[in-house]
Amino acid sequence: MTGVMGSSVPTPLYPLYQAQLHLPSFTTTAIFFAYVVGVLSALLVGGRLADRVADRRRLLLPALAMVATGAILLALAHNLGMLLAGRLLAGLGTGTLTGAANAALLDLEPPQHKQRAALFGTAAFTLGSILGPILSGVALQAGLYPTVLPFLVIVSIALAVGHGLWRLPLRRTAPPAPAQHSPQAVHASARALPARRVTQLMLLCCITLSIVWGVGSSLMAMGPSLGEKLLGIHDYALSGYASSLLAACAGTAQFLSQRTSSTSAFRYGNVVFASGLACAVASLLATQAWLMGLAVLVTGLGFGAAFIGAAGIVNQIAPPQRRGLMVSLFYIAGYIGNAWPMLLGFITDHAGPMTAAMTLLLTAIAASAGFVILSRRLLPVRS
């Protein structure tokens, strides 16, 4: 939670950095993307390391140190280089924490409760995404050094967690138990699909995650700036709270979707996701901020359902000997989707904010509609 919270803290602060350093929109989104580069780098390397160390603290403590150091750099930042370095370190720390912390949770749970560890991991990720923008938003509205104080809070939390880990060693006590499949994975896992169909479904799920995460990251990186330019929302904290609302709704939808099939969650999620984006289009055309709030709520519900549905499908179709690789590729595709804000910033600089926002929204709506149609062709049977 600490790493994700630190990653989402800057959400309402990007317009401040842009104004103070006189940055174009594209460069501002590059600050956001530096975090993504760090996370991807850590996931590609840290995932292997997490399975090789007996004491998880050997990864968790350095990861927390990177998160804290990144937060210190951001608190002291007075130029673009420090912002980029701070975000990169935050990403490296968060990416390392993601793999090592999830593995540590699995170590602490008995074999019959492994799914509870996954639930704790998801809850921590969601809670961090919610609290980060709220922390900086409150500091911004209260005038409490918004570009400094939130990051010092992150440093304090990282130090406290690190101290707790140091006093409570986490060691692997038993070999990994056989994978436990959720009810929504039972039927599909029992059926062997042709290799071509597996490839098609894998591509469908990867592109879906890329689009869904791309929209979410665009709200985090560009939401406050676009909200000011297109809807007259001059309180950047409110736009930050919108990011928290999206995360809260997505987490709620993920929890509720656990009881339905992956295919249904995927289809309904994309329909709701597209409906929320259509509401956002209407909000921009009518210049109604309240309608955008409704759009964020609906989009978040679709976001969560589509995500959990796509993840479930990947788990179902993946051959046991390739499941780890396919799941990793799935999440890498999602993080690559976080490059969307940079494209959005480029379009904003050259064609204006309305063109950029409409390009993002209409592309995502069309893509979601296509995903639903393709899923009906590739997954004709409910799974």
Q: What is each CA distance from 90 to 27, 213, 261, 377, in whole angstroms?
A: 18, 19, 35, 41
> What is residue 108's predicted lDDT score, i.e. its pLDDT?
60
3-state secondary structure 309-376: HHHHHHHHHCCHHHHHHHHHHHHHHHHHHHHHHHHHHHHHHHHCHHHHHHHHHHHHHHHHHHHHHHHH
Cα separation, 329 vs 209, whole angstroms: 11
Both tokens assigned to 95: 């990416």
Which domains does the chain possess? 1-169 (1.20.1250.20), 181-383 (1.20.1250.20)
Q: Is residue 171 classed as helix, strand or coil in its secondary structure?
A: strand
pTM, full prediction: 0.81
> What is residue 94's predicted lDDT score, i.e. its pLDDT?
86
Cα separation, 360 vs 226, whole angstroms: 12
Cα separation, 186 vs 99, whole angstroms: 25
Cα separation, 202 vs 316, whole angstroms: 10
pLDDT tens series, the chain, 383 aa: 666 787 889 888 999 999 999 999 999 999 999 999 998 888 777 656 655 666 667 788 888 999 999 999 999 999 999 999 999 999 998 888 876 666 665 566 565 555 555 556 667 777 888 888 899 999 999 989 999 999 999 999 999 988 888 877 555 544 444 444 444 443 444 356 777 888 899 999 999 999 999 999 998 888 888 898 999 898 888 888 998 999 999 999 988 887 888 899 999 999 999 999 999 999 999 999 999 999 999 999 999 999 989 988 888 888 877 776 787 788 888 888 988 999 999 999 999 999 999 999 999 999 999 999 998 888 754 54
Cα separation, 136 vs 188, whole angstroms: 43
> What is residue 69's predicted lDDT score, i.e. its pLDDT?
95
What's the DSSP call for residue 181? P
> What is residue 340's predicted lDDT score, i.e. its pLDDT?
92
